[in-house]
Chain A
Amino acid sequence: MPPRQLLVIDDEDDIREVAKLSLQLTEGWEVFTANGGLAGVTLAGSMTPDAILLDVMMPDTDGPSTFGLLQQGTATKSIPVIFLTAKVQSSDRERFMRLGVRGIIAKPFDPLKLGQQIREVLSWS
């Protein structure tokens, strides 16, 4: 069974790197990254990952917009999306969930538990 493929979309280089490294090291997943919403949508369309970890606060195209674009694409429509956000207010949480994302993971995250959190949200074994 090939390793699961994950796309991390975040404008912060450091966070992308930490997330990529921790997921590779703890779960052994294949992690791709994109530094912005549009780049992420393009990449997601071409490689159709198993899940997308999407930052909410990004310049230009933010998380919800990116998610909207992903929902419009036939290839990307069915990819589960998890928001990665520093916004932890319950109102924001409700708003995001209403958009149809599968889950929300708060920043800062524990690199050793990130993969586990993703698996729990997506019910991966």
Chain B
Amino acid sequence: MLKQIIIGAGLAVTLTGAAHADNFTGAGATFPAPVYTAWAQAYKGATGNELNYQAIGSGGGIRQIEAKTVDFGATDKPLKIEDLNKNGLSQFPTVVGGIVPIVNLPGVNPGQLHLTGDIIANMYLGRVTRWNDPAITRINPGLRLPGLPVTVVHRSDGSGTTFIFTTYLAHKSQAWANTVGANDSVNWKTGLGGKGNDGVAAFVKQTPGSIGYVEYIYSRKDKVTYALVQNAVGQFPQPNGGAFAAAAASAPWGKIPGNYIMLIDQPGRNAWPISGATFILVPKNPENPARAAAVLRFFDWAYKTGDKTAIGLDYVPLPGPVKDLIRRQWSNEIKAGGRPVYNGH
């Protein structure tokens, strides 16, 4: 009996199949996961090459690319140039999105509630504890806010979404910057931890009087109530592709080493204040140049043909000149044996 099992298993195991042309693995941020998986499906259809993208969180993407267990890492929390150099990584953005606060308040519809960064910070610090707090009612004159206690929901896993969100809070609230700070995983003063954007959305949906933060597409798909946030010029824009694009428009692309760009509180009438780009990390001197070339070839293809898909999922593609800039960076930075790993084909 044992013999039969072994033979059977051996046969199954040798079914490795013909070697696919260029299969590669990436891991990291959940923020862009919907668009990366959509691109991967289309890319397989177009070229037969498979991208295996696993959304384990930005921290996971950084960790696994440093350990070289994946071919690229994806992160919403950009690494600073010092860290990039320390680990021999090159960083480039792919799309821009936004983070939207979601609430569960009886009688309040999506897009009705107005909030500011300061108020949100105070909620997450536990200082604003009721929804009919004067700070909130003052900027929502037309809205009847119930006296429910405020329950905040944050991420339980390390996340670039958290990084962008806490950077915004630290920017708007000195108290937040002093006590909690900004990172992909912080020491939250209060609140529940949900796993992934979905965990947060699920908790908010179930808990009256709660507030959470999610990547934009999760606020659309789950039909939760999203709130508006005041931007740098005092407006309350609706969160959508146009608002994120407005935030990206005035960013200093190409001027910051390592592409460390934060789109927090950007000027612009329609700019959404909690926007962010999402980034890819690849090794500068890859041990496997063919794999590295496969990664870059994929993103080049995505830059050329993936805009429509991204827009359909409510991400904002990068402007054309920025994409060319990044291609030049690939040629300059990502080399094997002195020659660029990828130069257009």
A, B bound: no
